[in-house]
Amino acid sequence: MASPFPRIDVPRKWFLSAVAVLFVVFALELYLSVRLESQTFDEPAHMYAGYSYWLRSDFGINPEHPPLVKLVATLPLLVDRPKYPDPAEIFFRAQSGFGGLQMMSQPGSDAILAHVRAAVSIFVFVLGLLVVLAAREMFGDAAALLALALFVFDPLILAHGPLLGTDMGATCCIFATIYAFYRYVKRPTLLRLAICCLAAGLAFAAKHSAVLIFPMLFMLAALDLLISPQAKNQPPAAPGSKRRVLRMAGAYAVIVVTSIVILWAFYGFRYAARPGGKQIVPPTAIYLKSLHHPVAADLIGFAEQHRLLPESYLFGLTDVTILARDGRPMFLFGKAYSEGKWFYFPSAMLIKFTIGFLLLLALVPFARALWQSDLRREMIFLLLPAVIFFVSAVSAKVDIGIRHILPIMPFLIVLVAGAAVALARQSRKWAWAVAVLLVLDVASSLHAFPNYLPYSNEAFGGPFRTYRVLADSNDGWGGGLKALHASLARRGITQCWFAYSALPNPRSFGIPCKSLPTFFSSFVDQNPQSVPEHIDGPVFVSEEELEDSFWGPIALNPFDQFSKLQPSRAIAGEILEYDGSFDVPLVTAESEYVIAQDLLQAGKPGQAVPHAEKAVALDPNSLNAHEVLSAVYAAQHQNTQAEQEYQVAEHLFQQVPPGYANIMFPPQDPIAHH
């Protein structure tokens, strides 16, 4: 006979008081940490996009993601009313970034960002409430309080909860959908079905990966029909069983149809992405041809041809599919890969989860009450969605941040909480083990405060060593400008160099450092300057400049020499400080290339020649330098020299591993172009 789960009830007054205290602690953690962060990489783009939706219904801005989260986050802007920069008619991925950069360059932008972050935080607070409700309904009061404690002190939740990104919004809506469906199958009512439909529609409108809720719900419905208590007491052909199958099938159909209607509502029931006949750059039909995967291309093409879903949503779905199939460069354990690998997310979990939580997760199989009691439905509803989402993420090749598997976290937290309560009731030894691991979990989180975004557990050196093993949104995400300014001011440093890997101009944060050339610095530096071949520190380098997200293979990275050095500091976990004197010929070459490119675009090829030639002389392996020198010669009608430089650039490009094709472009023949 199955043993009952040891549900532990707490007096209602004490339960509500404990929940309130934990939420107050959570709010303080979020506020006190996020106020120290400058805008992270994606936030200005999402903010500009959401504002565009409210003011212009221009859903062609930032079509990479559906509109729900961006609309909620930018509600305060309808009161603040910052100036809206008209969108530049450029490549879609750059359009929202430039618009956001212009918005964040306005006076009072820090207050605007604070209001946006406060609005988007509604998702993480709703998610916390749902975790409490789900854990309480499944495992009792003690498990609910334990789940909330794990949630409140989880570094991943704390890192992404207050930031304007789509991951936390999708996490909230996906968990809400599954929990609402769990409540519906337990006791089918029209109200519970309506709540599930609403949650599913919001999830569909939050992030493209939320489309996974449909296979999740289908499999959950099928398994529940097989294992639920009603099904066990009836033969397959029983009339009651048939009614349950029909009711479940009907509910699933209603959820799917309603979700699609809700998605259309967020786009104003308009197919066209942009108003007034404007097109996304490139147009949807043309961009779809970039998807070289027949099944996906046919399905999305069919939906586009028959206008089954809004154009902006289909464009974003195309973009997500291209990235998932073709991949992006990956950085893990100090090694760069040309594309994502299956072991990225398992490794990232080992690094980014607290040791206490990892060990509690490992103890779940030993919680006998979870497996021996009548909790099959609860276990399936917690495990199956997490497994489906995790397997989908692992099979894709977009391995740039653990935030992409954030939707598995609430399921794991509720599961761990239930297991911890069961273990604590098994024996006193288990109770002590659970208590120790909980203390370790909370202590690790508190020790990392306020650096939650670059968090890694103690086995990997903590937040200030994460850059050695992970990159991108795992390690600062471009939000360290306030921390750098504070560090420079505290130490009285006014002479320095800075290589920064995001769009905001460091000078707007009072950072006096001279700029070193990066992929993004050319967009914000209106008057690029040549960098001497020898510079004196301190030199500050964003950790992303040391791997190949922007530069391509490490051999093409002018900052590779710094990756071999030990930094004296890791400010905010992401800006590395190097003290001393340095010979930087490759960095100088890059600065000369930027100047030559700038002069060429200004119609001054004659002035660009010496800079382009110096860039090639200092870095003969620079594809960019040879390409710009070829273009400069062509503009000067020196066709023979232009052709020679183009051939060198073409040869260098052919040596680049195929996995970098989506971040690097083949050189253009300037003779053919002219």
Task: Kindly list the distances between the CA atom of residue 518 and the CA atoms of 468, 509, 591, 659, in Å, as whole numbers in the listed order.
Answer: 20, 18, 9, 21
pLDDT value at position 335? 86
Across the range 332-356, mean pLDDT stands at 93
Residue with the two structure tokens 């949104």: 473
Is 612 exposed, middle or buried, given 0-12, 13-18 or 19+ CB atoms closer than 10 A? buried
3-state SS, one letter per residue, for 227-247: HCHHHHCCCCCCHHHHHHHHH
Contact (Cβ atoms closer than 8 angstroms) between residue 670 and residue 642: yes
Read off the pLDDT of residues 7-33 as tens digits, 9 standing for 90 and up: 888 889 999 999 999 999 999 999 999
Contact (Cβ atoms closer than 8 angstroms) between residue 641 and residue 609: no
Q: How far apart are CA 204 and CA 65, in angstroms?
A: 10
> E-assigned strands of 328-452?
330-332, 335-337
Percent of the chain with pLDDT over 90: 76
Contact (Cβ atoms closer than 8 angstroms) between residue 166 and residue 158: no
Q: Best-predicted range by mean pLDDT among 182-191, 320-329, 536-545?
A: 182-191
DSSP class of residue 309?
A: S
pLDDT value at position 115? 97
φ and ψ at residue 215, rounded to 5 degrees: -65, -30
Reported confidence tier of residue 1, pLDDT bands at 50, 70, 90? very low
Task: Reduce the DSSP state of residue 506 to 3 states and report it.
Answer: helix
Task: Reduce the DSSP state of residue 498 to 3 states and report it.
Answer: strand
Q: How far apart are CA 550 and CA 553, in angstroms?
A: 9
Q: How far apart are CA 229 and CA 226, in angstroms?
A: 9
| Closest alpha carbon to 546 in 535, 538, 554 | 554
pLDDT value at position 662? 62
Cα of 346 vs its chain's centroid, Å: 17
Residue 555 has pLDDT above 80, yes or no: no
Across the range 568-591, mean pLDDT stands at 95
Percent of the chain with pLDDT over 70: 95
Radius of gyration of the chain (CA): 27
Task: Kindly list the distances between the CA atom of residue 673 and the CA atoms of 281, 360, 666, 668, in Å, as whole numbers in the listed order.
Answer: 21, 61, 14, 7
pLDDT value at position 374? 85
Read off the pLDDT of residues 390-427 as tens digits, 9 standing for 90 and up: 999 999 988 889 999 999 999 999 999 999 999 999 99
Instruction: Name the H helices within 306-343.
Output: 311-326
Helix axes 409-426, 428-448, angle to 10 degrees: 140
Across the range 308-324, mean pLDDT stands at 94
Looking at this protein, which amino acid is placed at residue 516?
L
Read off the pLDDT of residues 420-475 as tens digits, 9 standing for 90 and up: 999 999 999 999 999 999 999 999 999 999 999 999 999 999 999 999 999 889 98
Across the range 217-221, mean pLDDT stands at 97
Reported confidence tier of residue 260, pLDDT bands at 50, 70, 90? very high
pLDDT value at position 494? 94
Q: Count how many Cα atoms sit within 13 Å of the Cα of residue 467 in the half-sphere of its side chain.
A: 26
| Structure token digits, residue 113 | 């960002």
3-state SS, one letter per residue, for 343-355: CHHHHHHHHHCCH
Alpha-carbon torsion angle 315, 321, 322, 323, nearest 10: 110
Q: What is the DSSP string of 91-119?
A: -HHHHHHHHHHHHTTSTTHHHHHHHHHHH
| Structure token digits, residue 468 | 């050695």
Q: Count how many Cα atoms sit within 13 Å of the Cα of residue 9 in the half-sphere of its side chain.
A: 3
Across the range 156-170, mean pLDDT stands at 97
Reported confidence tier of residue 554, pLDDT bands at 50, 70, 90? low
534 DSSP β-pair partners: 583
Reported confidence tier of residue 481, pLDDT bands at 50, 70, 90? very high
Contact (Cβ atoms closer than 8 angstroms) between residue 455 and residue 475: no
Reported confidence tier of residue 337, pLDDT bands at 50, 70, 90? confident
Q: Which residue has the higher pLDDT, 443 or 563?
A: 443
Q: How far apart are CA 478 and CA 64, in angstroms?
A: 20
Is 468 exposed, middle or buried, given 0-12, 13-18 or 19+ CB atoms closer than 10 A? middle
Across the range 104-128, mean pLDDT stands at 95
Assign residue 165 a region: left if phi > 0, alpha if psi is -120 to 50, beta otherwise?
A: beta
Average pLDDT, the chain: 92
Q: How far apart are CA 349 and CA 362, in angstroms?
A: 13
Reported confidence tier of residue 673, pLDDT bands at 50, 70, 90? low
Contact (Cβ atoms closer than 8 angstroms) between residue 542 and residue 439: no
φ and ψ at residue 77, rounded to 5 degrees: -70, -20
pLDDT value at position 411? 98
Q: How far apart are CA 176 and CA 161, in angstroms?
A: 16
Tell me the domains of the chain and their CATH numbers. 12-31+122-439 (no CATH), 37-120 (no CATH), 478-583 (no CATH), 587-673 (1.25.40.10)
Reported confidence tier of residue 663, pLDDT bands at 50, 70, 90? low
| Closest alpha carbon to 543 in 563, 523, 564 | 563
pLDDT value at position 171? 98
Residue with the two structure tokens 């959950």: 220
